[in-house]
Structures are given as structure tokens and as C-alpha cells.
Structure 1
Amino acid sequence: MFFIDLIRRVMSERKQSDKKHNDFMQLLMDVEREDNNTTTTTGADSVATDAMFGHHLSEGIDELKVEKQALSGVVEKKLTSAEIVAQCALFLIAGYETSAQTLSYCVYELALNPDIQDLLVKETKEAFNENTADIDYETLCRLPLLDAFVSETLRHYPVGLRTIREAAEDVVLTGGSDGSKVKIEKGVIVEIPLYAIHHSPDNFPDPFAFKPDRFLPQNRHNIKPYTYLPFGAGPRNCIGMRFALLEIKLVVAKMIQQFRFYGVPDTDVPVVFTPGYNLLQADRLIVGVEKR
């Protein structure tokens, strides 16, 4: 209730002011409907097919075309106040722990891979002329090694262990080398085991090795559709994907310019995970850190 009351209070205060804010809540409030019949037509811009984010959804070309066509004529309803509150609460609750965990794994891999750490320092220094106080969005998005490093971290440590979908219609899937078929009836809940998919040697050679090269632009074509799913896929992929990626990249870029991370005797290799069902949590992540 604390978050809900907080969000409602902030919304009420903003409605009484003419000042616009450059944040997520303002974006939602800008599409808040005033009556029950207000609608607006949208295109397929919500599909992440651009070079900077498309590979994080790991969809095939044919699937993306179908998705674009399906969304091209969609009539998008405006949001109610209750829906805005729900989305803001989701951003606060679901986004904090997952991003924090991912950043912890990033630091862990930086400590274990000093050669990769040095290359990232070099890439970010050249991109920002050693002025990390003024890192801009466009430049941050154009750093191939940083993107590959974050992508491999998300593959190796998918914080969300599973994703869930409900079958919208009856479907028969053909699976396995024997050609066996599985019927999934409408309404059946299907759980997709992300960690298992990300660590299958059929999908990623040497899956337990940390290799950012897999996600460099010249190698992305080797990734099979729907085998890399840290943010899910399709129209119901993670709403906070772009924000999370930029947040993680920004923090990593800032940290490596100021600190060096390294392994210590207490560093667990490999990571020891805490048993759980929803989030991939390490028992502990201990590394050394010193100021550059």
C-alpha cells in the first residue's frame, strides 16, 4: 500500500501543476484517458526490431514480421488512473531487485575476466573522451563490447528463472529428434525454463563459459530465435527492457572508469546459488575492488 499511496499522491500533485517531468510516470500520465471512449491509433513502434535492442528479444525474422503486421493497425486504448498506478508500482517492485542482481553478476564477471574489463575500460574511455560525467544516450547505445558483455551476463545469469504464458488457442508442437508431438490446449499455463534454455549446449556452445563474443554484432546471427530470453519475447516482453539495459550499461560504464574489480581468495568460482523458484540469487558474491 505504501507504493500505491505514494504514486497516487504524486499523480494528484502533478495534475495540479502545469510543470512537465521527464520520467516514466509523466509518459503514462500523458496517455491517461479522460473518459471511457478515448482511443488512439498506434503503429508497430513497440516492437524492438532496431539494432540496439532487437537481439535482446531473440525473435526470428518471420515472427517479427507477423508481430509487426498484427500491431500495425491496433487501436490502443488510453490508460486509466488505476492502470497507471499498477504500471508504476510494477516498475518499482519488479525492476529494482532484478537490475541489482544483474549488476552484481556484472561486477563478478569483471573481477574474473580482467582482460574483458580492460577492453571495456578502453572502449568507454574512447567513447566518452574520459568524461563519464556526460555520458549520453546515443553513445552508450553504440558500444558493441559493452552491449555484448551485458548480454552475456544476462544469458549466463538470467535473473528471472522462468517466464509464463497462457495458450490463447489449441496448438500442436513438434519437438525432439524423434518428431514426437505435444498438444497444448487453450488456457493451459506453460512455464519456459530460461536458465535451462540459456545453458543448453544445443543453443550455446560451451554454455557455462562466459564469452561476450557471442553477442558481438558479427556473431549475433548464430543465436537461434527464442534461445536467448532474458526479457521474454513477443508483444508481452518485459516492459522495462530498454530502461533496464540502459541503467545497467550506464552503471557499468561509470564503475569501470573509477574502480578496478578483481578476484580474491573468498571469491566463489563458480557462483554458489541460493535455492529458489523465481529469482536467480547467489549465496554470496565477494570480489576485490580498488580505486583506479
Structure 2
Amino acid sequence: MKDILTRFTNDVIANTAFGVECDSLGDRENEFYLMGKEATDLSGLWKNLKLFGYILVPRLATLFKFKLFSKTVGDFFTNLIKSNIRSREKHGILRRDMIHLLLEARKYRLKHEETEPLQDTGFATATESVIASPMNTKTEITDDDITSQALIFFFAGFETVSILMCFMSHELAVHPNIQKRLIQEVDETLEACRGKLTYESLLGMKYMDMVVSESLRKWPNPVLDRICTKSYTIDPKYPDERPVHLRKGDVIWLPVFGIHRDPQYYPEPERFDPERFNDENKVNINPYTYLPFGSGPRNCIGSRFALLETKTLFFYILSNFEIVPVEKTQIPLVLSKKQFNLTAENGFWLGLAKSQRKK
């Protein structure tokens, strides 16, 4: 499942962020996928040390010129994006993707929309901050800036979304009653939209949103890093504790995995229970105890994108198949200790059984 879903997210990111059409399931050795896989491979001690260096001591990492990507990977994506920009500007090509939005931002043509969305985009969606406009920035956006932003978007969406999909697949496989209810909602939605999925129909699937939200609760990105903007002291709560003094500029790690599994906020935290996010219960969840996409001005700008991508994929899978355990499925699932990213010790091995229900 990890291989299949990573190839899917690769093609989605290639299309929406880079304007490149890929078929990584058909052409398994295409250059874009191979470069992306190498760029997001964080296994190995040296790669992890460099990543921690960038996060914890960025000035030192800059001083010693640490590079997360190899020269081959860096040159590939840089040349790809810059040639794409030149081609669009020369031939007047209009393609409404991320590069287009960044080019529009460079020309100060983007405006922040103050209106509320017409439809709820999902419980896990992070509130977006004001985007670039002449009112709030005068910084020139260069081709290198656009390349960097596209790479960040790729780096964030290639691996993390596929990991969410893997964990959600596993939970559905080992909880057939939850999957059965979700399949029922898929069938009802498919019938209501007459066999052609629409954006509004997908966002209207409440149980789908509950399942995705609970998957993100149980299997989130383990930590968030933030920079302290002012000095602050956390007073001790118990007699044997000492105060924690934070200074301006300190790098802080927030243990999202621990918060999401704290029984104070989520009773029986190890249990996969989408009902935590039904209409009655979700209003009682403290927003700062649910952080799959972070919070505040440094939250994940791709939360809507990730949720839409995930829901769309599972809609089409479950409209045709049931996700089932196979001989190699690890039950209960054990997390790998060899990688920085959250993933299964022995991989995600699941089967797709052709659905026998009538359409």
C-alpha cells in the first residue's frame, strides 16, 4: 500500500504543483517519481542528523552548508520549475496550479478572500492566514522563491499524505464495521450525484470526514516545531517539578502524538473511534488538543488540499473494493523505529477485494 499510495500522491503533486503529467503506476521508473522518492527518503543516520540540524540549529546548518537534497535532485527540480516558468511566460500558458498562483503573487494579483466558505471543508482543516498582497508585503518573489515553495509543497505532500492514507487503509481493514458504514455512505453519495462525484457531494460526506479526522488524531505528524517569539516561564505544576524558562528565539517541539493520545482529551486513545468527531462530540474538542495540521500563522497551508485528495481517493477505492487484511498484515500494527516519519515496522500490506454489492 505504501508503494501504491506514494505513487498516487507523487502524480497528484506533480500535476498540481509542477504542471507535470505523470503515471507512476504505469511508468514505474519515471524520473519525477525517482527524484521525489530520493528527496523524501529520510532513512539513515546522516540524513536524520542533517534534518535535525536544520530544525534545531539552522544557522549552524547554513554555516556548514548542509544540504538535505543531493545535487542531482536539487538540479532536477530547479531546472524543471524554472523552465516551466519560462515556457509559461513566453507562450502565455495559463494553467491554474501552484506555480500559477505563485506567479500571480509575484505580480500582486492575489487578494485575500474575507468571505466564509460556502461549505465546511472538514473538521481537520486549518484556518488559513492572509496571503501576499501589496498591503502586507513588499518582498520581491524570485524564481528561486517559487522553486523553494514548490519543493516545500512537494516535500510536505508527497510523503505525509501517503502516510495518512496508509494508516487510514489499515484502520478500515481491521475495523470492518467502520468500513461497512463508510461504504454505505459512499454508495448513497454515488447514487445522489448520479454516478459522478462532485466537490459538494464529497464535502457533504460526514462519516468520511469523521474517519479521516480520527485517522489524523491517532496517527498524526509526531511533532511540530516553532520558534519562541518572546520569553516565557512555564510554572511547575507538581512539587517535584522545576519551572521551564523559554527564551526568545528558542526552538520548541510540540509533542502532537502525545497530545492526541492523552486520555485527558481523548478517552481510550488507542481505540480507533470516528464517533469522537460526530456533530455532537466534535464541538467539545479543544482546538489546541487537535493539531494534525498545526495552528496559527505557521499552520499547514495544504490542509484543504490533503483532505480533499484523501477523501477523493477513498471514495473511488470504496466504491469498487473493500480493503481487507492479508497474510502479511501486521495486527496489531507496530511503528518503525528506523525512520523519522511515522510508518509501520513491516510496511502496510493490505488487499483490495472486489466489491460484490450491486450498483
Give TM-score, length-normalised by structure 2: 0.69
RMSD: 3.1
Alignment match of 1:4 (pick from 78, 93, 100): 78
3-state secondary structure, aligned to 2:106? coil
List runs of 5+ in structure 1 lacking aligned partners: none
Cα deviation code 1:10-62 (max 9, x no counterpart): 111111122311222212211114xxxx69874667x99x84346444x9xxx
2:121 and 2:304 in contact (8 A); partners too: no
Q: Quickly say closer, same or farther: Cα 1:236–1:285, change in 2 above 3 A.
A: same
| 2:209 alignment partner in structure 1 | 147
Cα distance between partner residues in 1 of 2:260 and 2:91: 48
Cα distance between partner residues in 2 of 1:253 and 1:87: 30
Alignment match of 2:263 (pick from 176, 179, 201): 201
Cα distance between partner residues in 1 of 2:316 and 2:235: 47
Q: Displacement of 1:180 after TM fit?
A: 6.7
| 2:97 alignment partner in structure 1 | 23
Cα distance between partner residues in 2 of 1:164 and 1:32: 28
Q: Quickly say closer, same or farther: Cα 1:115–1:28, change in 2 above 3 A.
A: same
Cα distance between partner residues in 2 of 1:228 and 1:177: 25
Cα distance between partner residues in 1 of 2:78 and 2:292: 27
Cα distance between partner residues in 2 of 1:40 and 1:20: 15
| 2:106 alignment partner in structure 1 | 32
Cα distance between partner residues in 2 of 1:30 and 1:143: 33
Alignment match of 1:166 (pick from 223, 227, 240): 227
2:122 and 2:209 in contact (8 A); partners too: no
List runs of 5+ in structure 2 lacking aligned partners: 1-73
Q: Displacement of 1:235 after TM fit?
A: 0.8
Cα deviation code 1:118-161 (max 9, x no counterpart): 11111122223276963222221121110110111111111x22
Alignment match of 1:267 (pick from 291, 305, 329): 329
Cα deviation code 1:248-292 (max 9, x no counterpart): 010011101111112234322221111146310112222232111
Structure 1 counterpart of 2:105, which letter?
V
Cα distance between partner residues in 1 of 2:303 and 2:137: 20
| 1:114 alignment partner in structure 2 | 176
3-state secondary structure, aligned to 1:230? coil
Q: Displacement of 1:181 after TM fit?
A: 4.4
3-state secondary structure, aligned to 1:75? coil
Pairing of 1:24-63 with structure 2 (within 5 A): 24-33=98-107, 42=112, 51-53=120-122, 55-57=124-126
Q: Displacement of 1:232 after TM fit?
A: 0.8
Alignment match of 1:14 (pick from 68, 88, 92): 88
Q: Displacement of 1:208 after TM fit?
A: 0.3
Cα deviation code 1:147-183 (max 9, x no counterpart): 110111111111x221100001112334646697433
| 1:290 alignment partner in structure 2 | 353
Higher relative contact order (CA 8 A, sep 6+): 1
Q: Displacement of 1:196 after TM fit?
A: 1.0
Q: Quickly say closer, same or farther: Cα 1:243–1:116, change in 2 above 3 A.
A: same
Q: Displacement of 1:108 after TM fit?
A: 0.7
Alignment match of 1:188 (pick from 237, 247, 250): 250
| 2:284 alignment partner in structure 1 | 222
Q: Tell me, yes or no, if structure 1 residue 243 matches structure 2 residue 312.
A: no
Cα distance between partner residues in 2 of 1:163 and 1:252: 27
2:225 and 2:253 in contact (8 A); partners too: yes
Give TM-score, length-normalised by structure 1: 0.84
1:168 and 1:187 in contact (8 A); partners too: yes
Cα distance between partner residues in 1 of 2:252 and 2:163: 25
Q: Quickly say closer, same or farther: Cα 1:249–1:87, change in 2 above 3 A.
A: same
Structure 1 counterpart of 2:146, which letter?
I
Q: How many residues align?
A: 277
- The structure in which a higher percent of residues are strand is 1
2:229 and 2:249 in contact (8 A); partners too: yes
Q: Quickly say closer, same or farther: Cα 1:275–1:246, change in 2 above 3 A.
A: same
| 1:254 alignment partner in structure 2 | 316
